[in-house]
Amino acid sequence: MTVTLADVAARARVSPATVSRVLNGNYPVAASTRERVLRAVDDLDYVLNGPASSLAAATSDLVGILVNDIADPFFGIMAGAAQTQIGGPGDGSGRAGGEKLAVICNTGGSPERELTYLTLLQRQRAAAVVLTGGAVENPAHQAAMAAKLAKLADAGTRIVFCGRPPLPEGDALVAALTFDNRGGGRRLTEHLISLGHRRIGYVAGPPERTTTRHRLEGHREALRAAGLDDSPAGGGTADGSGGPAADDDRLVVHGPYDRRSGYEATLELLRRAPDVTAIVAANDTVALGACAAVRDQGMRIPQDISVAGFDDLPFSVDAVPALTTVRLPLFEAGARAGRLAMGKENPPPGGIATIAAELMIRGSTATPRD
């Protein structure tokens, strides 16, 4: 049975007029009410009938770009690059009618908000959707995502993943551009091992994210190959509390992808294992926090402890010392995702392309102290 505006209103416990105001954005509505209406829209999978709305003729010009945190350069670079290819005044395409309105959807890392944005983009009959960054490894969320993306694709929306692996089940994608996080993590740790490091701490990202798992798997592959994967059990989070996702390795601490996490996790690593000679950070922002913690403990980089990051964000080369890291071609990947979303480029064979990661050796890593 078709879901109506009245059904959404009843579910959200508001008037149909309030639902209309929220969905059309033409009248101020309290934030709590707006969230309740959007949750009802998502729960009921409400989509406006095209002929019933004046939006139907205009929404093919809309493209959604989903990011975890637009303030994070990792996502900002990819989103900005995708937008250069999506269209608009000055895009250089020279094609009449080629302009598209790119909307950045900031999920804040919330799986629920990710689904809500997809519902709203479905309702707006978006021409394309680009989803950036790692995915949440939760079977229920993955199933909900696959169902939502299938409905978008059935309505003609082009779907592209950028820096995100394809879903275990789901064939709605135009393309998935995946980063070689595992290979990059392995080469980074191999570099440290080649310098002579044997006690390497690891500041990991959130345990439920694909990016976290793949980078950590690469790190551990390098340790195993060198016969160093024999640390005692007892991992956990930055506050030392452990938990169901704790690693069987006390040299690994999980936390968010931010500077504060890098600082706190590094202090925890140094408390657990004062003899570590190198620290690998989940990304370059986390690495900055790690560097600050090392210095606050009266140690020098790299003379006392080497520090390495991941992503090669713009500030990495300007850090003191310059940060050894793994370069991901974020701008190039974002631009390619934009072209794929707009049909300007043919999808890769099989719809999936793995983008190589490059080791960038700089001044923050060196031979360990005697």
Residue 358 domain flag: no
Residue 320 domain flag: yes
Output the pTM of the full model: 0.81
Residue 158: in which H helix or E strand, if any?
strand 158-162
Residue 170 domain flag: no
Q: Phi and psi of 136, rounded to 5°?
A: -80, 130
**Which of 134, 73, 81 is CA-nearest to residue 313?**
73
Q: Are 310 and 284 in contact (CB under 8 A)?
A: yes
Q: Domain range spanning residue 26? A: 1-46
Residue 364 domain flag: no
pLDDT in tens, 127-160: 999 999 999 999 999 999 999 999 899 889 999 9
Q: Give the total number of structural domains in the chain.
A: 2
Residue 33 domain flag: yes
What's the whole-number mean pLDDT along residues 226-242?
55
Q: What is the pLDDT of residue 123?
A: 85
Residue 96 domain flag: no
Rg of the chain, C-alpha, whole Å:
23
**Which of 244, 233, 252 is CA-nearest to residue 189?**
252
What is the layout of strands, in order, in the sheet containing 278-281?
236-237, 252-254, 200-204, 278-281, 306-308
Tell me the longest C-alpha to C-alpha distance in the chain.
75
Say if residue 370's pLDDT is above 80. no
Q: Are 351 and 180 in contact (CB under 8 A)?
A: no
pLDDT in tens, 113-126: 999 999 989 888 89
CATH number at residue 299: 3.40.50.2300
What is the layout of strands, in order, in the sheet containing 175-179?
101-106, 62-67, 128-132, 158-162, 175-179, 352-355
Residue 324 CB partners (closer than 8 Å, separation 6+): 188, 191, 306, 307, 308, 309, 360, 361, 362, 363, 364, 365
Residue 215 domain flag: yes
pLDDT in tens, 43-91: 787 766 544 444 443 346 899 999 999 999 999 999 999 999 997 544 4
CATH number at residue 41: 1.10.260.40
Say if residue 182's pLDDT is above 80. yes
pLDDT in tens, 242-280: 433 333 478 999 999 999 999 999 999 999 999 999 999
Residue 86 domain flag: no
| 3-state SS, residue 246 | coil
